[in-house]
Structure 1
Amino acid sequence: MRLLAVASECAPLVKTGGLADVVGALPAALAEHGVQVTTLLPGYPAVLRAIGDARTLRRIDDLFGGTARLRRGTAGGLDLLVLDAPHLFDRPGSPYLAPDGGEWADNGLRFAALGAAAALVATGGVRGLTFDAVHAHDWQAGLVPAYLRFAQPRRPVLFTVHNLAFQGKFPLSLFPRLGLPAEALSVQGLEYYGTIGFLKAGLWYADRITTVSPTYAAEIGTPELGMGLDGLIRGRGGHVSGILNGLDTADWDPARDHRLAARFDAADPARRAANKAALQRRLGLAEDADALLFGFVGRMTWQKGVDLVLGALPAMLGEGAQLAMLGTGEWGIEEGSRGAAAAHPGRVGVHVGFDEALARLVYAGSDVVLVPSRFEPCGLAQLAALRYGALPLVAHVGGLVDSVVDANEMALAEGAGAGFHFAPVTQEMLAATVLRVARLWRDKGTWRALQANALRTDVSWTRSAARYAALYREMMADAG
């Protein structure tokens, strides 16, 4: 079958978060199940550079205020369609933010254009291209199901929510420019508490809805985590499901990763020790193989629970442990992290910013990777940790529950477990779990067994790609 995927970012071409990793890795995994994927992306400068002199398949004379072209090319092993609309996408900054850090004022039009272009392509508007189904990702592609609902011929569409907290809400004054029928501007459509809701539109009009983990699919149907959309999500009933994210295990491979100080695999985990020493040197930590080393990689935000890590620091230091942190985010948390490093030289090391090589070293050199998120649709840090032999210590939420087997007493008795859960998500419970981890760290035989379990864990896309392929075919059967 032929699938059109639609997203606002895609690794390795343009990335701000885990969405890009999913969009970049899933096509290769789906190919194993007979699904041929073409990915439609906005024509950001980086994407256009990557496809080079790609040919133009169709010109659109007026796409929300300017001329656009649909260009086809390949990059990063992906079959791409690129919406080359300079008036919308040829600008500096991130995909969503201007260089001053504020959102682009016309983000509503920019990503409405992506949805309109996707509908044009999916319904046969580009000669020589036909598709059986469409997979739209997150709010930036939320209007894809809306445009397709009012287009012919019908194409079934799957809408995936990567993080319900980001919803894409814009003023009602945008609606007349969208080219949708008047009936779309209602509670049974785009209207959302006096705004136009892109993510809400995707939830309403899609044939099927997925989130990036089964537990998160259940959580967003509750008032606590539904972000105001729980009623709609419950109303979609059996059309909502969760499919756990995976990793591109060819890219995330400690046996071949050139960024590491020493490569290793499940058959020779002892070589991880060189990465621990390299990480300690890199972040100014005391070079001590016997010190339990906790690592953190990610956004330094309240949602990610970094304040809980800083609050639990006395428990870590009391056990003789070290802490290595890498990330950027909220100013207050960044400053708190820098302050902790200044107050505890040789015990706490912090790099504020992003460095891919250092991130890989944190996963390969830490003994434990902290993922204390207050909510987490799926998360990739715990999957990377498992792949690189670090035991994840995770909050008992979302995809973290689904992807990490807790080393509790029953699991230990059965030789299972590859990480640690804590709940409720509080500083006190994180500190208590740190003490549980430290006790197991001192039992070297048990620790080696847990690490072996982590390295053997299948974090690939294999199972999840099969579920996506089955869901596409189910949508197609229902559509007739």
Structure 2
Amino acid sequence: MPQRILFVAAECVPLVKTGGLADVAGALPAALRELGLDVRVLLPGYPQVVAALPGAKPAERVDALGELPPSVLLHAELDNGVPVYAIDCPPLYDRPGGPYQDPSGEDWPDNALRFAQLGRAAAWLAVRGADSGWRADALHLNDWHAALGAAYVRFSERPRAPVLFTVHNLAFQGLFDAQWRARLALPASSWSIDGVEFHGKLSFMKAGLQYADAITTVSPTYAREIQSAPLGMGLEGLLAARRDVLHGILNGIDTVRWDPRRDPLIAANYDADSLDAKAANKRALQHRFGLAVDAAIPLAAMASRLTEQKGADLVADCAEALIGSPAQLVVVGTGERSIELRFEALAARNAGRIGVHIGFDEALAHLTEAGADMFLMPSRFEPCGLNQMYSQRYGTVPIVGATGGLVDSVVDCTEAALADGTATGFHIRPIDADGLCAAFARALAVYRDAGRWRQLQRNGMAKDFGWGRSAVEYARLYEQIAQRESAGA
């Protein structure tokens, strides 16, 4: 088994986060190290990353290539013991704004350079190694930002390391003008339908899919869905052709940070044997949003990006029908302004029954998971999803779109599943306003039977959503691609 794994991502908790990728990069390497693997993380040296690593030491200089400037890899260690390399390259990373966009919200015009540098540094550590003598036995590249590393490894003149590429969301592909192929020092032979070219553009995502030795997605169902339209996003043909090396591995969650027994951000701690204490969190959530404090009325919640992908518009469509059941509704999040405005208007018209918080608040997110009876997640597509796992851990029953990782992590509450003790939530089919209302009606019917509802809660709370199982599957894949590489050498 390869012992030295370089985990490459554009963001990583606790250094920098814009989405779920950072949570994966912060948790999976630690779980892999518990299996005995020497896993290290590589990410760009954004200002907040460098500032968070004051004791970092220069570990390696990466030479210039094409228009990519030279850089220095800074080596440090996270609080959880995971070693990390940050790419110190001020011309590309030392600027205000976020990892991907400037302060006005526009994509950085040189993102092709900024993230090619990430792939280039990954390939360097796999092909040449660091001054300390550490060289990656295998690369684990994540999403389009890191994907060009697969091409740099493939076209290296030195012996190459095997590459695993994980797709977290195929909707974001890293497409750039054709001129970038030469500017990033990719060979002319890479510009073909079997290379990095995609409808006349340079596709970082396609480089990862084409040149990796194995591909994973963040759930088994999403791995199947992306082999056909529409979720293949134009790459379904390539993904179907590579189905033999395409695997779906369900993400885990941070079970320390999300633990109702010890969560410091909720009103009262509880577990499956003390579910009555959950009621204190419901009261606190009702009070926070000015809702009628009523233990009997069902309280549904959504905490999410307020976008059409997440089905936030469907919740807005159904909101007044839901509260007429009767029920209460809480919405927490930020996203498309038109959807935000709809929720603000709904809250104004239905004071005491609908509560809305536009923005993200970590403490409120935890209280929402603990205080709600039901969690609404009507995503139109969802590679994996995390909130449905948080919800089950907190005894809050998820109502989810029947897609992607939601199918893999939530067992629909059919009569058979309820009888055999496997049901944990409700699937929305079809994923539209009528489907959401129908799923909510099914949930209400079970909610009114206290014994069956309590069993549903306990079923979800008994599930193991930690990273241990996923880490074992990734370790097995590292071994498989290393064996194939050795056999083909």
Q: What TM-score range do you get, normalising by the shorter chain?
A: over 0.9
In structure 2, the partner of 1:120 is 124
| Structure 2: distance between partners of 1:59 and 1:301 | 42
String of CA shifts for 1:69-117, please: whole Å, max 9, x gaps.
1110012423100101111111122210111011000001100011111
String of CA shifts for 1:361-405, please: whole Å, max 9, x gaps.
111111111110000000001011111111110010000000001
1:204 aligns with 2:210: yes
1:38 aligns with 2:40: yes
1:142 aligns with 2:144: no
1:92 aligns with 2:125: no
In structure 2, the partner of 1:74 is 77
3-state SS, counterpart of residue 299 of structure 1: coil
In structure 2, the partner of 1:271 is 277
Query: Are the counterparts in 2 of residues 315 and 434 from structure 1 also a CA contact under 8 Å?
Result: no
Tell me which amino acid in the other structure corresponds to 1:11.
V
Q: How far apart are 1:122 and its partner, in Å?
A: 1.1
1:390 aligns with 2:396: yes
**Counterparts in 2 of 1:82-231, with a 5 A limit?**
82-127=86-131, 128-151=133-156, 152-231=158-237
Moved more, 267-276 or 440-449: 267-276
In structure 2, the partner of 1:28 is 30
Q: TM-score, normalised by structure 1?
A: 0.98
| Structure 2: distance between partners of 1:245 and 1:266 | 23
| Structure 2: distance between partners of 1:180 and 1:62 | 13
String of CA shifts for 1:411-448, please: whole Å, max 9, x gaps.
11223311110111110011011111111111111111
4+ residue segments displaced more than 4 Å: none
3-state SS, counterpart of residue 179 of structure 2: helix
Tell me which amino acid in the other structure corresponds to 2:90.
P
1:378 aligns with 2:384: yes
3-state SS, counterpart of residue 260 of structure 2: coil
Query: Are the counterparts in 2 of residues 246 and 464 from structure 1 also a CA contact under 8 Å?
Result: yes
**Counterparts in 2 of 1:384-423, with a 5 A limit?**
384-423=390-429
3-state SS, counterpart of residue 358 of structure 1: helix
Per the alignment, do residues 233 and 65 of structure 1 end up closer, same or farther by CA in structure 2, a change over 3 Å counting?
A: closer
Query: Are the counterparts in 2 of residues 50 and 75 from structure 1 also a CA contact under 8 Å?
Result: no
Tell me which amino acid in the other structure corresponds to 2:143.
D
Q: How far apart are 1:349 and its partner, in Å?
A: 0.6
**Which structure 2 residue ranges, 5 or more long, are not aligned?**
none
3-state SS, counterpart of residue 338 of structure 2: helix
In structure 2, the partner of 1:13 is 15
Per the alignment, do residues 195 and 221 of structure 1 end up closer, same or farther by CA in structure 2, a change over 3 Å counting?
A: same
Of 236, 246, 249, 1:243 maps to 249
String of CA shifts for 1:303-346, please: whole Å, max 9, x gaps.
00011111111331121111111111101001011111111001
Q: How far apart are 1:7 and its partner, in Å?
A: 0.4
| Structure 1: distance between partners of 2:184 and 2:404 | 34
Per the alignment, do residues 306 and 444 of structure 1 end up closer, same or farther by CA in structure 2, a change over 3 Å counting?
A: same
In structure 2, the partner of 1:58 is 60
Tell me which amino acid in the other structure corresponds to 2:150.
P
Tell me which amino acid in the other structure corresponds to 1:383.
M
Query: Are the counterparts in 2 of residues 13 and 76 from structure 1 also a CA contact under 8 Å?
Result: no
In structure 2, the partner of 1:455 is 461
| Structure 2: distance between partners of 1:308 and 1:88 | 40
Q: TM-score, normalised by structure 2?
A: 0.96
Tell me which amino acid in the other structure corresponds to 2:220.
P
Query: Are the counterparts in 2 of residues 71 and 82 from structure 1 also a CA contact under 8 Å?
Result: yes
3-state SS, counterpart of residue 51 of structure 1: coil
Q: How far apart are 1:249 and its partner, in Å?
A: 0.8
Query: Are the counterparts in 2 of residues 88 and 110 from structure 1 also a CA contact under 8 Å?
Result: yes
3-state SS, counterpart of residue 300 of structure 1: coil
Q: How far apart are 1:230 and its partner, in Å?
A: 0.2
| Structure 1: distance between partners of 2:270 and 2:128 | 49
In structure 2, the partner of 1:326 is 332
| Structure 2: distance between partners of 1:9 and 1:455 | 30
**Counterparts in 2 of 1:278-289, with a 5 A limit?**
278-289=284-295
Q: How far apart are 1:62 and its partner, in Å?
A: 3.7
Tell me which amino acid in the other structure corresponds to 1:469.
A
| Structure 1: distance between partners of 2:262 and 2:96 | 34
Tell me which amino acid in the other structure corresponds to 2:23.
D
String of CA shifts for 1:186-228, please: whole Å, max 9, x gaps.
2211111010000011000000000000000000001221100
**Which structure 1 residue ranges, 5 or more long, are not aligned?**
none
Moved more, 157-166 or 306-315: 306-315
| Structure 1: distance between partners of 2:70 and 2:468 | 41
Tell me which amino acid in the other structure corresponds to 1:112.
A
Of 436, 447, 470, 2:476 maps to 470
Q: How far apart are 1:66 and its partner, in Å?
A: 4.1
| Structure 2: distance between partners of 1:281 and 1:98 | 38
In structure 1, the partner of 2:51 is 49
What's the C-alpha RMSD, in Å, of the aligned pairs? Answer: 1.2
Per the alignment, do residues 430 and 193 of structure 1 end up closer, same or farther by CA in structure 2, a change over 3 Å counting?
A: same
Query: Are the counterparts in 2 of residues 315 and 435 from structure 1 also a CA contact under 8 Å?
Result: no
| Structure 1: distance between partners of 2:154 and 2:137 | 15
| Structure 2: distance between partners of 1:42 and 1:173 | 23
| Structure 1: distance between partners of 2:35 and 2:373 | 36
Query: Percentage identity across aligned positions?
Result: 52
| Structure 2: distance between partners of 1:247 and 1:124 | 34
3-state SS, counterpart of residue 39 of structure 2: strand
Query: Are the counterparts in 1 of residues 255 and 465 from structure 2 also a CA contact under 8 Å?
Result: yes
Tell me which amino acid in the other structure corresponds to 1:351.
H
Tell me which amino acid in the other structure corresponds to 1:206.
A
Q: How far apart are 1:61 and its partner, in Å?
A: 5.6
Tell me which amino acid in the other structure corresponds to 2:447.
W
| Structure 2: distance between partners of 1:125 and 1:469 | 21
Query: Are the counterparts in 2 of residues 65 and 87 from structure 1 also a CA contact under 8 Å?
Result: no
